[in-house]
Amino acid sequence: KAGVTQTPRYLIKTRGQQVTLSCSPISGHRSVSWYQQTPGQGLQFLFEYFSETQRNKGNFPGRFSGRQFSNSRSEMNVSTLELGDSALYLCASSGTRATTQYFGPGTRLTVL
Amino acid sequence: QKEVEQDPGPLSVPEGAIVSLNCTYSNSAFQYFMWYRQYSRKGPELLMYTYSSGNKEDGRFTAQVDKSSKYISLFIRDSQPSDSATYLCAMSEEGGSNYKLTFGKGTLLTVNP
A61's enclosing H/E stretch is: none
Contact B99 A94 (CB under 8 A): yes
Contact A103 B44 (CB under 8 A): yes
Residues A42, A87: Cα–Cα separation, whole Å: 10
Of B42, B88, B98, the CB nearest to A43: B88
Residue of B nearest to A103 (CA): B43
Torsion of CA A77, A81, A82, A86, to 10 degrees: 60
**Residue A100 pLDDT level (bands cut at 50, 70, 90):** confident
- On whether the CB atoms of residues A36 and A51 are closer than 8 A, the answer is no
Q: To the nearest whole angstrom, how far is the Cα of B36 from the nearest Cα of chain A? A: 10
Instruction: Taking residues A67-74, report their average pLDDT.
Output: 96
pLDDT tens-digit readout, B78-110 = 999 999 999 999 999 877 667 889 999 999 999
Q: Which of B101, B102, B105 is the best residue to mutate to test the A interface, defined by the most A CB atoms within 10 Å of its own CB?
A: B101
Residues B101, B94: Cα–Cα separation, whole Å: 11
Mean pLDDT across chain A: 94
pLDDT tens-digit readout, A5-19 = 999 999 999 999 999
- On whether the CB atoms of residues A107 and A8 are closer than 8 A, the answer is yes
User: Which ranges of chain B have pLDDT less than 70?
Assistant: 1, 96-97
Residue of A nearest to B107 (CA): A42
The helix/strand/coil state of A100 is coil
Chain B positions in Cβ-Cβ contact with residue A99 (cut-off 8 Å): 32, 34, 49, 51, 92, 98
Listed in sequence order, the residues at least 6 apart from A74 whose beta carbon sits closer than 8 Å to its beta carbon are A22, A23, A25, A32, A34, A49, A66, A67, A68, A91
Chain A positions in Cβ-Cβ contact with residue B98 (cut-off 8 Å): 98-99
User: Which of A 16-45 lie inside 8 A of B, CB atoms?
Assistant: 31, 33, 35, 41-45
